[in-house]
Structure 1
Amino acid sequence: MRKSVNRPPTPDAGENQEKEPSLREIINIKLIETGEKERLMELLRERLIECGWKDEMKALCRAFVKKKGRNNVTVDDLIHVITPKGRASVPDSIKAELLQRIRTFLVSAAL
């Protein structure tokens, strides 16, 4: 499409309006404002320690450092290697418990 030489192009309608927060962002804000996010994080920490997940991740880190050499490993290397294994090894029961707590919060917050 040709642009007029006499006037600048009309900006898109969405460019001038402020971006509406997504539902995910709204939920995150509510979780933080009410302190529920911190309570959920603490519950997650407790459950992961109880099931031995934390010790398992610590052992994986130690094995990786031993294999590569202490001076040849950065924190970023550890994160890159351990994160996929860590996420995959969180027990389903813990995920289900957290999901249920989030659902209960959403119902009570009327979101």
Structure 2
Amino acid sequence: MLSWIPIFMLSSTFSFHCRFREKNMSKDSQMRAAINQKLIEMGERERLKELLRAKLIECGWKDQLKAHCKDVIKEKGLEHVTVEDLVAEITPKGRALVPDSVKKELLQRIRAFLAQHSTL
């Protein structure tokens, strides 16, 4: 039990933990931003987007999502659905429908890019 630990120690430990997490999240955010910037500068981001588009069309993802959109609109009625509502409803399903093989291929391409440009 922690009942014997003085409150000031708990609060300072908690405060340290929060600052530590913030720094790590900040470092993660900075790393993501640096990687994204490098992908953009080198034109790799656009190539990855094109690859993703092609793979999603090839596997039928686009058609599945389009059909789901139509179902949602029919169910709720066109006049009762906003774009925001549709996006909120479709996004989780869209992410879940992306085949693992497509995710793995994109991840491999990103890793290969980072290995080639390891100055990050």
TM-score (norm 1): 0.80
1:29: which partner in 2? Answer: 37
1:53 maps to which of 35, 58, 61? 61
- Within the candidate set 75, 79, 82, 1:67 is matched to 75
- The residue type equivalent to 2:117 in the other structure is A
Query: Could you say which residue in structure 2 is the equivalent of 1:98?
Result: 106
Q: 1:99, 1:23 → 2: CA distance?
A: 16
Report Cα offsets for 1:42-97 as digits up to 9, x if no partner: 00000000000000000000000001111111110110000001101100000000
**Deviation string, structure 1 residues 19-51 (Cα, Å, up to 9, x no partner):** 987111100000000110000000000000000
- Give the structure with higher Rg (CA): 1
Unaligned 5+ runs, structure 1: 1-18
**Cα RMSD (Å):** 1.4
Quick check: which one's helix share is greater?
Answer: 2
Q: How many residues align?
A: 93
Instruction: Structure 2: state its 5+ residue gaps.
Output: 1-25
Which 4+ stretches in 1 moved above 2 angstroms?
none
Alpha-carbon distance between aligned partners in 1 of 2:40 and 2:75, rounded to the nearest angstrom: 40
